[in-house]
């Protein structure tokens, strides 16, 4: 097996390589003055199973083009198979037409990924459970929920003083799965409203019984507004401690400051997305998913 990394999350690739006991294969990336990117493999991949680690968070388009070029280079160089580890799958929230005249952007990206010769995709916590059905190649859809359950158990939070909370109705399935991993820990749901013009989010009510400690669970954090508004409502309802677990830290520029200045005690995310130093804050803790990826790769089944 040969393991390559794009530029979007080298630390994740290095962790996976260490767990597999193999080195990262050398790759040459050149960026021209106009922004175009050129990829050159500096390793022999003929008849090898190749793996590319390249999540596609910000800058999404740039990271996708880099991924496509790496896969094309591997296929042209004779790789037997190519597995794309796209731990965060960009455009996943554009999986259907919301208004007449729109493109289904996710479908376009999947088509491009398949057309360059990708044999398999490994990803985490897609926004909709229906997204894997859009692929025509094998996809391994992993979840960070077992990792979250492990951390919650380590903190001794599986008790009568804790409730799991989904910040919107769309997360009901996710919260039920996590509850099952935590001895059926009770859960509640926040009903929120989003202004379609301004984008402003307001948490309006809680469905379910609350406890002194609330653990908010979501698939991603982008602007941070959903989490902050949910926490405000929970505190207003008498909750004393609020913790947050989210798989993908797709932080906008304002998100770190919003979260750090909120009443939330701690924010746990994973390394599916590389968080630059300027976006890290005191309440943040990063949990790695590298072992989950390495276990799938060790199976060597495509």
pLDDT score at 199: 55
pLDDT score at 195: 57
Count of other CB atoms within 10 angstroms of residue 284: 18
pLDDT score at 205: 84
Where are the extended beta strands (E) located within 147-297? 162-166, 187-194, 201-207, 213-221, 241-249, 266-270, 284-287
Whether residue 89 contacts residue 126, with contact meaning beta carbons closer than 8 Å, is answered with yes
Where are the extended beta strands (E) located within 6-148? 27-31, 37-41, 49-53, 81-85, 120-124, 139-142
Q: Which tens digit of pLDDT belongs to each residue from 54-113?
A: 999 999 999 999 999 999 999 999 999 999 999 999 999 998 888 889 999 999 999 999
pLDDT in tens, the chain (302 residues): 999 999 999 999 999 999 999 999 999 999 999 999 999 999 999 999 999 999 999 999 999 999 999 999 999 999 999 999 999 999 999 988 888 899 999 999 999 999 999 999 999 999 999 999 999 999 999 999 999 999 999 999 999 999 999 998 889 999 999 999 999 999 999 987 765 454 566 667 888 999 999 999 999 999 999 999 999 999 999 999 999 999 999 998 899 999 999 999 999 999 999 999 999 999 999 999 999 999 999 986 54
Of residues 2, 40, 130, 192, which has the active-site annotation? 192
Whether residue 6 contacts residue 67, with contact meaning beta carbons closer than 8 Å, is answered with yes
Alpha carbon dihedral 148, 154, 156, 160, in 10-degree steps, equals: 30
300: annotated active-site residue? no
What's the predicted TM-score (pTM) here? 0.93
**Which residue blocks in 116-171 are alpha helix, DSSP H?**
145-154
Tokens of 137: 């190649």
pLDDT score at 258: 96
DSSP one-letter code for 4: E
Domains of the chain and CATH, by start: 2-143+291-299 (3.40.50.2020), 145-271 (3.40.50.2020)
By percentage, how much of the chain surpasses pLDDT 70?
95
Long-range contacts of 170-179 (CB under 8 A, 24+ apart): 171/217, 171/218, 171/219, 173/129, 174/125, 174/145, 174/217, 174/218, 174/219, 175/217, 177/143, 177/145, 178/145, 178/148, 178/149, 178/217
């Amino acid at each position: 097996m040969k393991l390559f990394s794009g530029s979007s999350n080298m630390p994740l690739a290095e962790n996976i390589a260490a767990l597999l006991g193999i080195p990262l294969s050398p790759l040459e990336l050149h960026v021209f003055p106009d922004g175009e990117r050129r990829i050159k493999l500096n390793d022999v991949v003929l008849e090898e199973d190749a793996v590319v680690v390249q999540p596609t968070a910000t800058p999404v388009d740039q990271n996708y083009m880099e991924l496509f070029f790496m896969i094309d280079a591997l296929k042209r160089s004779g790789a037997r198979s190519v597995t794309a580890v796209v731990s965060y799958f960009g455009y996943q929230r554009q999986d259907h037409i919301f208004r007449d005249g729109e493109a289904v952007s996710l479908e376009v990206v999947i088509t491009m990924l398949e057309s360059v010769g990708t044999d398999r995709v490994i990803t985490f916590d897609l926004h909709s459970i229906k997204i894997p059905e859009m692929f025509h190649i094998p996809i391994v859809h992993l979840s960070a929920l077992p990792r979250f359950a492990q951390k919650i158990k380590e903190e001794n939070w599986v008790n009568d003083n804790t409730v799991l909370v989904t910040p919107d109705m769309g997360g009901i399935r996710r919260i039920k799965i996590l509850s099952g991993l935590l001895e059926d820990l009770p859960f509640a749901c926040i009903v929120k409203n989003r202004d379609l013009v301004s984008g402003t989010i307001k948490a309006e009510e809680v469905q379910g019984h609350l406890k002194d400690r609330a653990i908010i669970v979501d698939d991603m954090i982008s602007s941070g507004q959903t989490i902050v508004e949910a926490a405000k409502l929970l505190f207003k309802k008498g909750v004393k401690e609020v913790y947050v677990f989210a798989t993908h830290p797709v932080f906008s520029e304002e998100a770190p400051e919003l979260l750090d200045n909120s009443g939330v005690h701690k924010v746990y995310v994973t390394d599916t997305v590389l968080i630059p130093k300027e976006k890290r804050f005191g309440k943040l803790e990063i949990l790695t998913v590298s072992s989950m990826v390495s276990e799938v790769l060790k199976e060597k089944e495509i």
